[in-house]
Amino acid sequence: MAKKISEFAKSNKTIQRDTAGADTYNQRGLALAEQGDYTQAMAQFEEAIRLDPEEGTSYNYRGFTYASLGEYDNAIADFDKAIRLDPRNGTLYYNRGLAYRKKEEFGQALADYSEAIRLDPRDASAYSNRGLVYAEQEDYAKAIADYNQAIRLNDKLAEPYNNRGQAHAKQGDLVKAIADYDKAISLNPQEASVYYNRAMAYAAQRDYVKAVADYDESVRLSPPQSRTIKDWLAAIGFRIAFFIWKRLPKPKEI
């Protein structure tokens, strides 16, 4: 990861790059970020940048930490610096695309994901995330095409199936949507959002028994702090619909 230690002139000063020391701080920062301690992780990445300001990896890590904190402008500024230092690294464009998508700057996000794909045509996640941008723009045909390519490249990822399921649901094809959600759950049974999405599809089919079961599972898997008023309203709505459906007169057999 680290580049060869060298000296360079800037503003009439000679700066020594401590690449090995920067790498040590980066590794500490990554470990802290994995634990969710972004404040301490940020301090480690900043020290890595101080030790070796010409290593793009440190800016990338700090940018991703900013993005995790919702500071997308700061994240983009760091990804810009990383790209200037390492312009052929597709991961950097991918990460900046994530930040632009969060800011709903979809044109910039599409450009970055497309560049990530150009640099690494085997990157399934780049196709899947570009598909999300197309879906945000309600271009579901292009979104599904990207999800299909992501699945062709790596059929073990749950995310493209979940994303494609949502696109099928938006197009009104609930059967295909549920099939994709089924596959996503088989690949990652701990992902709460897929159960929620499948619950919504079952509810649209008026299969309230399955909808309630899936919604309950999504709540069970979600951290309590992530649950919103919208979640609780959805839970109540499913149960009211189920209650009404159970009491509707059933058609007589002929």
CATH architecture of 10-189: Alpha Horseshoe (1.25)
| Alpha-carbon dihedral angle through residues 23, 26, 28, 32, given to the nearest 10 degrees | -170
Averaged pLDDT for residues 48-76: 95
Mean pLDDT within 118-147: 97
What's the CA gap between 220 and 196, in Å, rounded? 11
pTM: 0.81
Average pLDDT of 47-76? 95
**pLDDT for 236 beyond 70:** no
DSSP assignments along 56-112, one per residue: HHHHHHHHHHHHHTT-HHHHHHHHHHHHHH-TT-HHHHHHHHHHHHHTT-HHHHHHH
- 90-105 pLDDT per residue, tens: 999 999 999 999 999 9
Q: Does 231 score more than 60 pLDDT? A: no
Q: State the pLDDT at residue 49.
A: 94
Give residue 131's Cα distance to chain centre.
12
Cβ neighbours for 232, distance < 8 A, ≥ 6 positions apart: none
The predicted pLDDT at position 228 comes to 54
Of residues 216 and 9, more confidently modeled: 216
DSSP state of 207: -
The pLDDT of residue 34 is 92
Residue 172 falls in which region: left (phi positive, over 0), alpha (psi -120 to 50) or beta? left
The amino acid present at 103, given as its one-letter code, is K
Q: What is the pLDDT of residue 21?
A: 82
Question: Cα angle vertex 83, ends 82, 88, to 5°?
Answer: 125
pLDDT of residue 14: 41
Q: Where are the domains of the chain?
A: 10-189, 190-247
By the 10 Å C-beta count (0-12 exposed, 13-18 middle, 19+ buried), 228 is classed as exposed
